[in-house]
């Protein structure tokens, strides 16, 4: 019997909307593997042997979106590695697809190999998101983009490039929206209901 296609839930929302926090909760409670596109890119950036290190570093700092060929390959490799390691075939993919290039590249490279279950969207006002990212930076996130200048650019990118992707999936009735402005526990109560049903 052919192996089952991996199931994918995309997790989207503005920077600081709570994607990473809630993905950790999901992994703890449900049989899912969490892949953060941003974390995979940061790991690749820190890899001395990578030919993409500098390109990724500047894109992250400027809040720009890395070309999809790079991100998609990192995601595919991480999915294959974790399936080989016997971690199952359910994935929450956090912070991707972020623009039309990401969406087209994913559909082309992974669309037929995966089963997209739904898109989890954390809806959260910009002021709250910015406060959270600034606090995260002050608390020592170590991220090169948790500062006022980078955040301004990340939000521009979110509004102009990522929001239209969420709208695109909403038109296809694939979006499950959660109010991300509340406490992490309150948000997770809603998230849990979506994953249990």
Judged by the rule CB under 6 A, the positions of this chain that interact with ligand UDP are 15-16, 19-20, 37-38, 41, 59-60, 63-66, 71, 95-96, 98, 102, 145, 154
How far apart CA 95 and CA 67 sit, in angstroms, is: 14
Binding to Mg ion by residue 67, rule CB under 5 A?
A: no
User: Of 7, 20, 57, 73, which lies in the binding site for Mg ion, with binding defined by CB under 5 A?
Assistant: 20
Is 17 annotated among the ligand-binding residues? yes
Mark the segment that binds Mg ion (CB under 5 A) among 12-20, 47-55, 157-165, 187-195.
12-20
Q: How far is the CB of 129 from ligand UDP (least distance, A)?
A: 8
Q: Which residue's CB is nearer to ligand UDP, number 42 or number 176?
A: 42
Instruction: For residue 171, give the nearest of 126, 117, 119, 124 by alpha carbon.
Output: 119
Q: How far is the CB of 190 from ligand UDP (least distance, A)?
A: 19
Question: HEC states along 94-160?
Answer: ECCCCCHHHHHHHHHHCHHHCEEEEEEEEECCHHHHHHHHHHHHHCCCCCCCCCHHHHHHHHHHHHH
Tokens 């930076």 appear where? 137
Element (DSSP H or E) covering residue 12: strand 7-13
Q: How far is the CB of 20 from Mg ion (least distance, A)?
A: 4
Q: How far is the CB of 175 from Mg ion (least distance, A)?
A: 19
Q: Which residue's CB is nearer to ligand UDP, number 68 or number 175?
A: 68
How far apart CA 15 and CA 126 sit, in angstroms, is: 9
For residue 4, what are its two tokens?
A: 């089952």
The residues that touch Mg ion, with contacts defined as CB under 5 A, are 20
């Amino acid at each position: 019997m052919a192996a089952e296609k991996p199931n994918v839930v995309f997790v989207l929302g503005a920077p600081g909307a709570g994607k990473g926090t809630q993905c950790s909760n999901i992994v703890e409670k449900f049989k899912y593997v969490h892949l953060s596109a941003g974390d995979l890119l940061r790991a690749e950036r820190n890899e001395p042997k990578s030919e993409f290190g500098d390109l990724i570093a500047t894109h992250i700092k400027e809040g720009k979106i890395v070309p999809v060929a790079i991100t998609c390959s990192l995601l595919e490799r991480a999915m294959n590695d974790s399936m080989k390691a016997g971690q199952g075939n359910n994935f929450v993919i956090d912070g991707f697809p972020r623009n039309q290039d990401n969406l087209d590249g994913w559909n082309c490279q992974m669309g037929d190999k995966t089963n997209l279950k739904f898109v989890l969207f954390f809806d959260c006002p910009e002021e709250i998101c910015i406060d959270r990212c600034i606090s995260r930076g002050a608390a020592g996130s170590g991220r090169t983009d948790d500062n006022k200048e980078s955040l301004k650019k990340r939000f521009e990118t979110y509004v102009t490039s990522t929001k239209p992707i969420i709208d695109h999936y909403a038109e296809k009735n694939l979006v499950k929206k959660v109010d991300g402005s509340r406490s992490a526990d309150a948000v997770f109560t809603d998230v849990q209901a979506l994953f249990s049903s």
